Each structure stands twice: as C-alpha cells, then as structure tokens.
Amino acid sequence: MQDPFSFSPGFHAVVVGGAGDIGSAIAELFLARGATVTVTGHDQPALDRCRLKGQEGVVVEILDVTSDAGVEKFAAGFERVDAVVNCAGILARDEEFKIEMFQRVLDVNLTGTFRICMAFRPHLVASRGSIVNVASMNAFAALPRIPAYCASKGGVVMLTKSLALAWAEDGIRVNAVAPGYIETAINAEGRKDAAHHERIAARTAVKRWGKPEDVAGTVVFLCLPASDYATGTVFAVDGGFLAG
C-alpha cells in the first residue's frame, strides 16, 4: 500500500507563478517530498529573481497566462503532469478603478487560472491528478483599494467549485487555498509601517503574519493521496483572521 503522504515515483508538479514568493515555497516543498517541478514566471526578470533557478529537479520557464496560444503551447510540452498549482497573480492598488487595469487583473488572476486548468486537463485526466488554485482571503473579506483583485479571487473560489463538480468523473480533484496576510514582496513596502504590521498581526488568532511556507504545506497536502476525498473545497490559510 502506498504511503498516503508520499508521491508516486515520477510525480511532476507544474507551479504557475512559481517564480514568486509563495510559488517558490510551494515548489521547494514539492521537491523536498521527492517530486520534480516546473515553475513559471511572467518575464525574464521574474525568472532571474527566482531562487529555484539552477536547482536539481526544477525547470524554470517564462509563461504569459493571458496568452491563449502561449498557454496551449506550454501545456503541450509535457508528457506527464500530476498536479497543477495556479498562483500567478497581480494587483494594482487604486489603479483597479480604471477599466483597463480592472480587466487586466481579471485576465491574469481569473481567466489565466481558467486557461491553465483547461490546457492541462488532458494531462490530469491521464494521471488522475489535482489542481490547486490560489485564491485569497479577499475573496471573502474585501478591501476598498483593490476591487478587481477581490472580484478575481472571488471568481477563483467559484471556478474551483465548478470545475471540481465538472471534472470529478475524470478523477481530477480541484481545490483552492485562500491565503491571508502573507509576508511577500508585494506587501513589503506596507510592512515598513510598524503600526500597520502589528495591527494586522494582532487581528489574527496566532498574532503574526504568515510566511510563504505556511501556504505551501496546505497546497502540497492537497496534491497527496492523503487528500483524495477532498475536492471543491477552499482552505483558508490566514492564521485565523476570518474566524474572528
């Protein structure tokens, strides 16, 4: 009997947006559990910043998730894929009230996630694999300066549930995680305000901000045999922020 907390030999995960902070932590945990990984970044500078570059067992590639042709070509280059993690995402505080930026954020965060899921569906049918989408606490608790981001992540939640129902007969499980306040480059400037940083930490049950590694554990668990009965669910990884 296979260990439910171990991957099968040859297990391969694709982490879209894996060049970022949370994506890199997810990829590193896949590697630590014996998987091989392909990670993507949206451009060369993103890949240059990726700490996974050059590590054994990792392939790093550029991918624009807003390109139908680019996503299709990328997916067609794989022989085996057992798990797909969608964590490519953007936000633009205050700028999202402009229709062009609103549409751009939705195209990356929501439609981009759907493009990836559709492109990799044949691989995941073959492997009876898993998808984990990265939503956000802001799918449930909105913020005033990022309407497109909040809307896109709410859409990711419902997309996850819909695909889980649609693809269950194919053996594909589709789940999501909803991170809370995680210390990443995207909020580094704001965290320089000590009062803001402490106010957010105090609002959580565990009295601290999360680390990318905190998200990685839940994502990887959702791709293990141990989670075979979980699909269509959204796991909050927010230190208890939403529980209050």
Q: Within 13 Å, how many C-alpha atoms sit on residue 56's CB side?
A: 2
Structure tokens at 220: 């990887």
- Asked if 214 and 26 count as a contact pair (C-beta separation under 8 A), the reply is no
- Asked if 95 and 101 count as a contact pair (C-beta separation under 8 A), the reply is yes
Q: Tell me the pLDDT band of 2, cut-offs 50, 70 and 90.
A: confident
54-77 confidence digits (pLDDT tens): 899 999 999 999 999 999 999 999
- Specify the residue for token string 């839940």: 218
Query: Any idea of the CA torsion for 90, 205, 158, 5, to the nearest 10 degrees?
Result: 90
Q: Which domains does the chain have, with CATH numbers?
A: 12-185+213-237 (3.40.50.720)
186-196 confidence digits (pLDDT tens): 888 888 889 99
- Specify the residue for token string 């260990």: 3
12-62 confidence digits (pLDDT tens): 999 999 999 999 999 999 999 999 999 999 999 999 999 998 899 999 999
Average pLDDT of the chain to the nearest whole number: 96
What whole-number distance in Å separates Cα of residue 179 and Cα of residue 65?
21
Q: Is the pLDDT of residue 88 over 80?
A: yes
The catalytic site residues sit at: 149
**SS3 letters across the chain:** CCCCCCCCCCCEEEEECCCCHHHHHHHHHHHHCCCEEEEEECCHHHHHHCCCCCCCCEEEEECCCCCHHHHHHHHHCCCCCCEEEECCCCCCCCHHHCHHHHHHHHHHHHHHHHHHHHHHHHHHHHHCCEEEEECCHHHCCCCCCCHHHHHHHHHHHHHHHHHHHHHHHHCCEEEEEEECCECCHHHCCHHHCHHHHHHHHHHCCCCCCECHHHHHHHHHHCCCHHHCCCCCCEEEECCCHHHC
Contacts for 118 with CB less than 8 Å, ≥ 6 apart: none
